[in-house]
Each structure stands twice: as C-alpha cells, then as structure tokens.
Amino acid sequence: MARSIIVTGGFGVLGQAVAEAFAALGDKVARIDFAPQAAKPLTGALDIGSVDLTDADATKAALEQVTAAQGGLDVLVNVAGGFTWETLEGGSIASFSRMHAMNLLTNATITQLALPELKKSSAGRIVNIGAGGAVKGGMGMAPYAASKSGVHRLTEALAEELAGTSVTANAILPSIIDTPTNRADMPDADNSTWVSPEAVAKVIVLLASADAGAISGALVPVSRGG
C-alpha cells in the first residue's frame, strides 16, 4: 500500500533525491519548500511552494493540503535548512538566529503539527537531517553546528517522547554532500569522499521503512561516498 510522504526542502538537490527515492517505491510524495517552485519536476508529486516553515499557520495549511490529497501522513523527512560559514569575530550574530530558524525551528514547527497524523499511521516515521559537522564544531561552523546540534537533541528527545507509539524519530548525520553548491564553494577540496545525495536518500528510505521500527533516537553517520 502506497504511503503518504512529506519531504520539506523538497525542491533542493537533497530533497529532490529523497523525493525521487520514495516515488520510485510507489509512495505518494509531497514536496514542501520555501522556494516558489521546483527547479526539477517530479511526476506525480504534490508540490507546495512559498511556505515559511517557521510560520505555524502557513505550515498547518500545507499539512492539511497534503493529508487531504494523500489520505493522511506516514513519513516526514525534514530536509529544509541552510548553511553558513563564518567566524565569530568576523561574522554576524544574526547568523545564529538565521541558522536556528532555518535548521531547527522549521523542523520543530512542522513536526509538532504533523504528530497527530503520524500517530494515526501504523508505522509513522520522522527522519531529520543533522550534520556530521555538528558533532564537533570546527572553525567557522559555530552558527550552523549550534543549530544542527539542536536538531540532534530534538531528535533524541522526541524519540523518548514517542516511545510506546507507532512513530519513530531518527536523524542522519551526513558528511559533506556532493552538490553543485558545495563544489562551487569548495573548488579545491577532494570531493572523492563526499557523500552523494542518492546515497543519503537510501539511508533515509531505510530508516523510514516498516522494518526499521525498532530504531528510534538514533543519530546515524552517513559518510561514505556512495
């Protein structure tokens, strides 16, 4: 039976790969994004653009559109987020607020609103995108790592909160993802060890499967090419 899937940040490179992976399984996929429209179409997907996921009313409206169209909700994948590299001395304190909003508040807002529908599923799944770079913060990573560390703690706390329900909550911690943006930003880096969006998507699909019901509260490193 086809499941109902939401991928936030679904118009981006990683979100596209994740959405395509679920669609290939025959699932019903909705992509929710801050951008007005996707750069790359996905046949059969429900695309909802121009959604600020820190806005509870806008997020609730998008969720209601998805559940009405797809008959509920089984899997929520929180890909939406952003990145910045700047030192504390040379950077802006506003970057901490921006990263907190983009990476943590977007996640918490839609997850809270989606919980009632996810609990109706026989195998509700929440998969968050943490970061390998948030396990230990390196130079220039403070705003980003602080916000992604928040995603890690949210995932752990939520998993404990959901114990005894049909819903699991896990996070993957990718290393550097091989995207055009990262290649442009780091032209001299050795990208042979970067992880492909498709490899990340495979791990997300695994954690979202019915067979992964015994895994909750896990922070899973994803760091091998792929």
The separation between CA 188 and the C-alpha centre of its own chain, rounded to angstroms, equals 28
Threshold 0.85, pTM exceeds: yes
Which residues form the domain of 114?
Answer: 4-222
The number of distinct structural domains making up the chain is 1
- The helix/strand count (H/E) of the chain reads as 7, 7
| Tens digit of each residue's pLDDT, the chain (226 residues) | 899 999 999 999 999 999 999 999 999 999 999 999 999 999 999 999 999 999 999 999 999 999 999 999 999 999 999 999 999 999 999 999 999 999 999 999 999 999 999 999 999 999 999 999 999 999 999 999 999 999 999 999 999 999 999 999 999 999 988 777 777 777 777 777 789 999 999 999 999 999 999 999 999 999 987 6
Alpha-carbon distance of 45 to 84, in angstroms, equals 30
Alpha-carbon distance of 76 to 195, in angstroms, equals 22
Question: Which CATH number is 29's domain given?
Answer: 3.40.50.720
